[in-house]
Structures are given as C-alpha cells and as structure tokens.
C-alpha cells in the first residue's frame, strides 16, 4: 500500500458523503467533496509516476475507484436530478464490459490493461456533465453528456480493436 493507492481508496471512501450531500441538496459541501475526489484522481496517478510508485494494485484500484464513483453519481443523478436513465444504463454497461474485458485480458495475457486516450477524455467530459447536472445547469450538462457518450463509443471501439489485436498475437 502506497500513497497513490491510498488516494484511490480515499476517492471511494468519499462517495457516501458525496451522495448524502447530493440527496440533501447541500450544494457547497457537495462541490467541495467532488473537487476533493477529482483531486485524488489526479494526484494518485501523478504521484505514482512522479514517485515511481506505480503498482499492479494501483493499476486495478484507480480505474475501479473511477468506475465506482462515476457509476454511483450517474445513478444518484438519475434518481434525484433528471440525469437520463438511458445514459446511466449505457455508462454502467460500458464499465461492466470494461471490467469483464479487463479480467479476460488479465487471465489470458497476464497483464493489466491500461486506459486509452479517448477513454480518459470521455471520463473528463462525463465528469463535467456530472458537475453541470449537480448544479442544474441545463442544457449544458446534456450537451457534455452527448460528447462524453460519443467519446465512450470511440473508446469502446479502440479497446475492442486492441483486445482483438492482442488475442490474435497470443493465438498465433
């Protein structure tokens, strides 16, 4: 266990408080907690690279923490702030597919897959859409959601192509 991994776990630990503040419409504490969660996401990766603390555990905990946080938020926003249920379903489906594909890659190829750039941009736009939904800034939140879903599609296609290329190499 190292500092970057602790930051990833802290991001997960913040979620009950984030969801409570969202439910109770405590906007200022909610925004502070969300910014803290975003900061842990940035600094866990930054510190892991800067301090040479990249670990196999961190390669699993960080993206898992991202999925737990984002999926929790879109579910809660669908319940309480008008976030479209169809988008929540697509986002959660994408994360389940990424987790399943990642487990397959780990099992077959004995390596932990890394995220791709379209996926990183998708998460950035989705996070912005979430902020806009938290603040009830519409239609801007919906526009950002559409951009993030387009990037999620591009990311998914990229992941699929990469997995197919790796499986061809390991089959031949």
CATH number given to 3-171: 1.20.120.1760
Cis? peptide before 139, omega within 30° of 0: yes
3-state helix, strand, coil in the chain (%, to 5): 85, 0, 15
Report pLDDT for 87.
95
User: pLDDT band for position 86 (50/70/90)?
Assistant: very high
pLDDT tens per residue across span 137-148:
989 999 999 999
pLDDT band at residue 77 under the 50/70/90 scheme:
very high
In the predicted model, what is the mean pLDDT of residues 92-97?
Answer: 88
What's the confidence (pLDDT) of residue 37? 94
């Amino acid at each position: 266990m190292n500092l970057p991994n602790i930051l990833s776990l802290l991001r997960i630990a913040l979620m009950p408080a984030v969801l409570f503040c969202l439910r109770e419409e405590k906007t200022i504490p909610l925004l502070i907690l969300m910014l803290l969660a975003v900061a842990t996401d940035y600094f866990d990766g930054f510190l892991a690279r800067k301090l040479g603390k990249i670990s196999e555990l961190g390669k699993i905990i960080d993206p898992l923490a991202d999925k737990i946080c984002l999926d929790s938020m879109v579910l809660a926003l669908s319940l309480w702030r008008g976030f479209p249920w169809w988008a929540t379903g697509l986002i959660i489906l994408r994360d389940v597919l990424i987790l399943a594909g990642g487990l397959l890659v780990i099992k077959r190829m004995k390596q932990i897959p890394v995220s791709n750039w379209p996926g990183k941009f998708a998460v950035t736009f989705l996070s912005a859409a979430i902020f806009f939904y938290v603040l009830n800034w519409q239609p801007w939140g919906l526009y950002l959601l559409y951009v993030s879903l387009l990037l999620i599609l591009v990311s998914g296609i990229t992941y699929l192509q990469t997995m197919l290329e790796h499986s061809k190499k390991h089959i031949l």
